[in-house]
Structure 1
Amino acid sequence: MAKKLIKRFMPDQQAIKDNKCLKVFGSLLHNPNLWHLNRHSVAKAFAVGLFFAFMPVPFQMILAAAAAIILHANLPLSVALVWLTNPFTMPFIFYGCYLVGTLILGVRERSFQFEASWQWVIDSLSTIGPAFLLGCGVLALLFSVLGYFTIQMLWRYQTIKAWQKRPHK
């Protein structure tokens, strides 16, 4: 059940190989183990994808692909999960990261107005940056570990249920 659900939403293997950003990996993308769907590769893919989804860095897909190759995680799933932070969800997720960072650091929440400029980014690194970056790191670790163990447990549960439904001889 879990395998079929994941297969339905997973990007096409050829589309990943043809992605111009991922061409930097060359023949490494041809490793068949990066495309298998099993409990371990999917759990690692969730950990990788969720970790990089919370990282406020450019080229998240490339970083997730590199980590998937190194960790032998399912490549398309690792890359696809990065898109949890997309232009629609990113403000909410990153604001949540900032709030978590302020909570951990014990500092007051500052009001700020976002501007799409490098000067704003540079200026905000000293004001809201520490809380934001700490929150991103904490939530990236938390959700990657949660994702890994949740997939491991769900996959195992589904396997046990499937075995119990088999006819006994």
Structure 2
Amino acid sequence: MPKNFIKRFLPDHQTIKNHRLLRVFGSVLHEPNLWHLNRRSASGAFGIGLFFAFWPVPFQMWLSAGMAIPFRANLPLSVATVWITNPFTMPPIFYAAYKVGTTVLGTRAQHFEFQFSWQWVVESLSTIGPAFLVGCAICSVFAGAAGYLGLNFAWRYQVRRAWERRRANRQQR
């Protein structure tokens, strides 16, 4: 069942509640629904995490946690899902987002070489920036919706299979 698989990778909720950086949220983190793992909270958290994973901004985890709270999605899963874009996966994912943006906008992909400087970022916003940001927005919405629907479907499928196995076991007796 997805619940048992997901629980293996999540940290203890008391550890997260007492974390010094998360004290900003105050007593809101003591809401029990943020820590329960059920179909609704898990699929919502997965959708929220994937949605923010494609945003090219720092503090994606904060944004994901901030959105998981009002939607009552599982907080640890929402924050952990953002790490799909990590320093190793970010270049190919963001390049793919750029290609999606150029396709949607109907522009030609420009050759560019990444430089780790603020000046390069500012100059890039006028050249490759529009296509990149449009691509990130499209990928963000698509990944969030696909993550929500995909996990919701997988969870329902596993529950249905478990019910069928129980029914088959009862009929054998």
> Shorter-normalised TM-score: what interval?
over 0.9
Tell me the number of residue pairs that the alignment of Structure 1 and Structure 2 aligns.
Answer: 169
Q: Which residue of 2 aligns with 1:47?
A: 47
Q: Which residue of 1 aligns with 2:31?
A: 31
Which whole-Å CA distance do the structure 2 matches of 1:8 and 1:95 have between them? Answer: 32
Indicate whether 1:148 and 2:148 are aligned: yes
* TM-score, normalised via structure 1 length: 0.96
* Mapped contact 1:49–1:78 kept (Cα < 8 A): yes
* Mapped contact 1:11–1:77 kept (Cα < 8 A): no
Letter in 2 for 1:168: R
SS of residue paired to 1:16: helix
Superposed CA RMSD: 1.2
* Mapped contact 1:53–1:81 kept (Cα < 8 A): yes
* Mapped contact 1:47–1:144 kept (Cα < 8 A): yes
Q: State the 1:154 CA deviation.
A: 0.7
Give deviations 1:13-57, integer Å, cap 9, x for gaps: 233224443221111111110000100000100110000000011
Q: Which residue of 2 aligns with 1:168?
A: 170
Letter in 1 for 2:23: K
Which whole-Å CA distance do the structure 2 matches of 1:137 and 1:110 have between them? Answer: 19
Name stretches of at least 5 consecutive residues in structure 2 with no aligned partner.
Answer: none
Q: Which residue of 2 aligns with 1:123?
A: 123
Which whole-Å CA distance do the structure 2 matches of 1:145 and 1:12 have between them? Answer: 27
Letter in 1 for 2:15: A
Name stretches of at least 5 consecutive residues in structure 1 with no aligned partner.
Answer: none
- Please identify the structure whose Cα radius of gyration is greater: 2
How is 1:1-169 mapped onto 2 (pairs within 5 angstroms)?
A: 1-166=1-166, 167-168=169-170
